[in-house]
Amino acid sequence: MRSIFILLAAFMPVLSTAQVPYIQWKKCFGSTAADYGKTIIQTSDGGFVLGAMSISTTGQVTGNHGGADFWIVRMNDTGAILWAKCYGGSSSDNLMNIQQTADGGFIAVGNTSSNDSQVSGNHGMSDVWVLKISDTGLLQWQKCLGGSGMDKCNYVQQTADGGYILTGGSNSSNGDVTVNHGGFDVWLVKLSATGGLQWQKSYGGSNDDNGAAVVQTADGGYLVSANAGSNDGDVTYTHGGNNDYWVIKVNDTGRIQWQKTYGGSSDDNVTDETGPGALQRTTDGGYVLAGWSNSTNGDVTGNHGSYDYWVVKISDTGRLEWQKSLGGTGDDEATAIVQSADGGYAVGGLTISNDGDVSGNHGNYDYWVVKISDTGHLQWQICMGGANYVPDDCINSLIAATGGGYIVAGFTNSTNFDVTDNHGDYDAWVVKLNCTMPVNGPITGPSQLCVGATITLADTAAAGIWRASNSHVSVTAGIVTGASAGVDTISYSIANTCGGVAATKAVTVNPLPVPVVTLTGYTFSTAATYITYQWQHNGTAIAGATTNTFTYTSIGWGVYAVTVTDSNGCTGTSANDTIRYMGIGAVHDTKTAAGVTIHPNPATDRIYITAPETTTAHLTNMLGETVFTSTGDIINIAALPPGVYLITLTSKDGEVLLRDKVIKW
C-alpha cells in the first residue's frame, strides 16, 4: 500500500465555515520512465526543491547513471525548473528525504545498491547513502553507511551542532552496524558536519522494526518514530497486531530514556518506507504522529473501514493525549503532518475512499489533504488526482508555502482530471494549493517603551493572535508591557483554515536610567546628562530644583535623591543620600576668645555660654537670616527647627568673642 501524509502550517482560529483551498498551479516532473516524488522543501529564496527517484534518461531527466538515481530538482516559486541533476551509480539509488542545510546547500538521504560512479564505500547489498550538495547541485561529499545486509534511511535532520541525525532500518550486524536484535532494527546514526560517523545505535527486537522519522528535542536528545513488529528486546509492549506505532526517546548519545507503543490488535504503521515518516514536535512540547491503521481496539477508535489515517498526539513523556481516525471504507494512508498556527494539524496522504470523511475522489487512489483542529475535528478535506486502474496518485510530502497555501509532492500515472501534463509512466507531481488569504497589517503604534511601561498596538484585522518573539515584553490584546531591555518582534497573526499571515513590528524596550549622584561639599550633582531633573527631599519634590546640581544647605539634613528622564523618555531615580548633620562650608573665620565656651553642641533646647563678661548671642541660619538674638548666658533654641546655625558672641563693646557652628537636633 502507498501512504502519504501532509504538512500544513497556517495561522488560523477554528472557523465555523471552513475554506477549502484550490489548485493554484500543478506540474508533472519526469520523462517517459518512472519518476517518483519523495519529498519537497521550500528554500530560503522562496523557491522549492523536489527530491525524487528516477529511472528516466530523457526529457527533463539527464545524466542518469543507470537504474534508479537520486533526482533533485530546484525550481522557482511558480514551479519553473532552475536546475535538475541525477546522482548515483549503475544500480538502484532511492532518495527518501532532503533538507536545506545551514550553508544554503542540501543534504539528501536514501539507500543505494551501487558502488561505482558517484557512490563509493558500499558495504554490501544496500547501504544508507548520504549526499551533500551545494546550492547549485555540486556534489560536495557522499557517504555510504551500513553492513553486509540491507541498510536503509528514511529521514535526515541537521542538528544544532551542524551535524546530522538519520534514521531508518538495518538487518546488518557488521561494518558500521554493531548490534542487531533480529530482523530489521531501527537504526539511528549521528554524523558530523562533514559526514564523519560519530555514533550509531540499533533498537528493536526479534522481528522487523523500522525507523520512520527523527527530531532533535529541546534537551539535545532525539525522538524517533518507528514501526514496531517486535514484542521483545527494546520493545517492551505491543498491542498484538502486525505493527504498532513505536516512539523512542534517547539522549544526545543515543541511550534510550523511554519508549512507548501505540495501536490495536491489527496493523498500525507510521512508515511503509516509500517516503519519509510523519512526526513533528508540537508547540506545547509534545509530539504528533500520523500514519495509518486498520485496528478497531486498543488505542484506536473510530475506524471507518479498512485502513484509515491515524493521528496520534502524545505529551513530552509519551502519554497518549488523543487520537483520531480519518477516512472512508477504502484504504486511507497518511504520510505527513504539520502543526498549524491555530494549534491544529494538516495531514496528507492517499485515499481510495469516496465516502465517510472523503469526498471528491477522481477514481482509484487520489492525493488526500485534510485539516483538523487541535483536538482532531475535521475542518476541511480535498481530493486531487486523476482516474487510472493502478495505484495512481500518491502524496509523499506536503509543506506550508511562504505567504500562504501549500505545496504537495508525490507521484502520479494519471493523465486526466487534475493531471494534465504527464510525461509517461509515473511522474513526480507537484501541486500548489492556495486560497483567499486574509488581509492583515500593518501593526500601528509606538516602536519603543521603557521597562515597566506599556504601549498599545493595533491592527485593522479582526480575531488575530498577538505574540512576542521572546521575553523582553509580554503582550495581551495589543497591550505591550516592557519586562527587560532589548528588542522584541511583535506579531499579529490572522488566518482562515487554508492559511494565514502574520504582520510584525519590532519593539525596543529601553532600560530605565540609573543616575549616579556625587556630593562635593554641600552640592549634589549627576555625572551623566539627562533631559529633565527633579531633586527630592524626604520623598517630596523640591520646588525649583530641576538642574543637574543641588546645594542642600537651604534645607538641612534628610534624605535626598534625584529623578531624571533620559532621551528615550524613560524615568529613573537615584539611590538615596542621607545627610545626618550639616556643616557650614562658607564659615572659615571661626574664632574663640580666651575663657569663652558654649555647650552642649549639638543641643536640643538650650546652649549655655561661659564667658568672663556678659555677651550678646546672634544665631543665623544657612541663608544668613538672623533667627535668634539674646543677651545673657543661656540661648533658648527649643523653638528653632533642626539644622546647622552660625553663632556669634559679642561683648558689650561689640567685639566678637566667638564665631562657630552649632547644631540643633
Higher pLDDT, 597 or 216: 216
Torsion (CA) 44, 47, 51, 52 in degrees, nearest 10: 180
pLDDT band at 17 (very low <50, low <70, confident <90, very high): very low
Average pLDDT over residues 238-260: 95
Question: Which among 545, 551, 513 has a CA at the least distance from the CA of 529?
Answer: 513
> Which are the contacts of 255, defined by CB distance < 8 A and separation ≥ 6?
none
| Range of weakest confidence among 101-110, 480-489, 554-563 | 554-563
H and E: helices and strands count for the chain: 0, 52
pLDDT at 341 (0 to 100): 64
Question: Which among 215, 216, 167 has a CA at the least distance from the CA of 187?
Answer: 167
Q: What's the Rg (C-alpha) of the chain?
A: 40
pLDDT band at 405 (very low <50, low <70, confident <90, very high): confident
- Per the CB < 8 A criterion, the answer to whether 364 and 392 are in contact is yes
Q: Are 328 and 474 in the same domain?
A: no
Q: Using the 3D structure, point to which of 579, 600, 619 is the last residue of a domain.
A: 579
> Which are the contacts of 313, defined by CB distance < 8 A and separation ≥ 6?
282, 286, 287, 288, 320, 321, 322, 323, 376
pLDDT band at 9 (very low <50, low <70, confident <90, very high): very low
Cα–Cα dist 246/323, whole Å: 15
540 burial (CB, 10 Å; 0-12 / 13-18 / 19+) is exposed
Q: Are 377 and 480 in the same domain?
A: no
Q: Which residue has the cell 542545510?
A: 101
- Beta strand ranges found along 55-150 (DSSP E): 69-75, 81-87, 93-100, 106-112, 127-133, 139-145
Cα–Cα dist 113/92, whole Å: 5
Q: Are 480 and 537 in the same domain?
A: no
Q: Are 92 and 237 in the same domain?
A: yes
Cα–Cα dist 45/238, whole Å: 45
Residue 432: pLDDT over 80: yes
Domain count, the chain: 4
pLDDT band at 16 (very low <50, low <70, confident <90, very high): very low
Cα–Cα dist 224/95, whole Å: 20
Q: Are 339 and 474 in the same domain?
A: no
Report the greatest alpha carbon distance in the chain. 134
* Cα dihedral sign, 231-236-237-238: negative
93 within a domain of the structure (yes/no)? yes
Average pLDDT over residues 198-215: 97
The one-letter code for the residue type at 478 is: G
Mean pLDDT of the chain: 90
Average pLDDT over residues 610-622: 88
pLDDT band at 390 (very low <50, low <70, confident <90, very high): low
Rounded to 5 degrees, what are φ and ψ at 553? -65, -20
Residue 86: pLDDT over 90: yes
Higher pLDDT, 436 or 434: 434
Q: Are 604 and 564 in the same domain?
A: no
Residue 483: pLDDT over 90: yes
- Per the CB < 8 A criterion, the answer to whether 447 and 438 are in contact is no
Cα–Cα dist 411/389, whole Å: 15
Its domain, for residue 631, covers 591-664
Q: Are 544 and 643 in the same domain?
A: no
14 within a domain of the structure (yes/no)? no
Q: Which residue has the cell 527587560?
A: 484
131 within a domain of the structure (yes/no)? yes
CB atoms within 10 A of CB 637: 23
pLDDT in tens, 409-427: 999 999 999 999 999 999 9
pLDDT in tens, 648-661: 898 888 888 888 88
CB atoms within 10 A of CB 53: 25
Q: Which residue has the cell 539627562?
A: 530
527 within a domain of the structure (yes/no)? yes
Higher pLDDT, 133 or 238: 133
Rounded to 5 degrees, what are φ and ψ at 173? -140, 25
Residue 582: pLDDT over 70: no
Cα–Cα dist 435/245, whole Å: 34
Residue 585: pLDDT over 70: no
pLDDT at 499 (0 to 100): 57
Which whole-number Å values give the CA distances from 11 to 24, 407, 461, 502, in the listed order? 20, 16, 13, 8
Q: Are 339 and 254 in the same domain?
A: yes
Cell numbers describing residue 369 = 489533504
Question: Which among 378, 349, 385 has a CA at the least distance from the CA of 497?
Answer: 378
pLDDT band at 498 (very low <50, low <70, confident <90, very high): low
| Paired residues of 289 in beta bridges | 279, 312
Residue 254: pLDDT over 90: yes
In the three-class reduction of DSSP (H, G, I as helix; E, B as strand; rest coil), residue 125 is classed as coil
Q: Are 490 and 346 in the same domain?
A: no
In the three-class reduction of DSSP (H, G, I as helix; E, B as strand; rest coil), residue 32 is classed as coil
Cell numbers describing residue 507 = 519593539
| Paired residues of 20 in beta bridges | none
- Per the CB < 8 A criterion, the answer to whether 70 and 128 are in contact is no
Residue 3: pLDDT over 60: no
pLDDT band at 440 (very low <50, low <70, confident <90, very high): confident
Q: Are 58 and 171 in the same domain?
A: yes
Q: Using the 3D structure, point to which of 493, 510, 527 is the last residue of a domain.
A: 510
Percentage of the chain surpassing pLDDT 70? 92
Residue 15: pLDDT over 50: no
Cell numbers describing residue 505 = 513590528
The one-letter code for the residue type at 495 is: A
Q: Are 569 and 656 in the same domain?
A: no
Question: Exposed e or buried b for every residue in 280-304, given b needs 16+ CB within 10 A?
Answer: bbbeeebbbbbbbbbbeebbbeebb
606 within a domain of the structure (yes/no)? yes
Continuous segment of H or E residues that includes residue 610: strand 606-610
pLDDT band at 10 (very low <50, low <70, confident <90, very high): very low
Q: Are strands 486-495 and 523-526 parallel, antiparallel or unpaired?
A: unpaired
pLDDT at 580 (0 to 100): 55
pLDDT in tens, 301-340: 999 999 999 999 999 999 999 999 999 999 999 998 888 7
Q: Using the 3D structure, point to which of 375, 406, 434 is the last residue of a domain.
A: 434
4 within a domain of the structure (yes/no)? no
pLDDT at 340 (0 to 100): 76
Question: Which among 40, 4, 14, 164 has a CA at the least distance from the CA of 432?
Answer: 40
Q: Are 188 and 319 in the same domain?
A: yes
Residue 209: pLDDT over 80: yes
pLDDT in tens, 331-366: 999 998 888 766 788 899 999 999 999 999 998 999
73 within a domain of the structure (yes/no)? yes
> Which are the contacts of 87, defined by CB distance < 8 A and separation ≥ 6?
65, 69, 70, 71, 72, 93, 108, 118, 131, 133, 139, 142
6 within a domain of the structure (yes/no)? no
- Beta strand ranges found along 511-551 (DSSP E): 517-520, 523-526, 532-537, 540-541, 549-551
CB atoms within 10 A of CB 193: 16
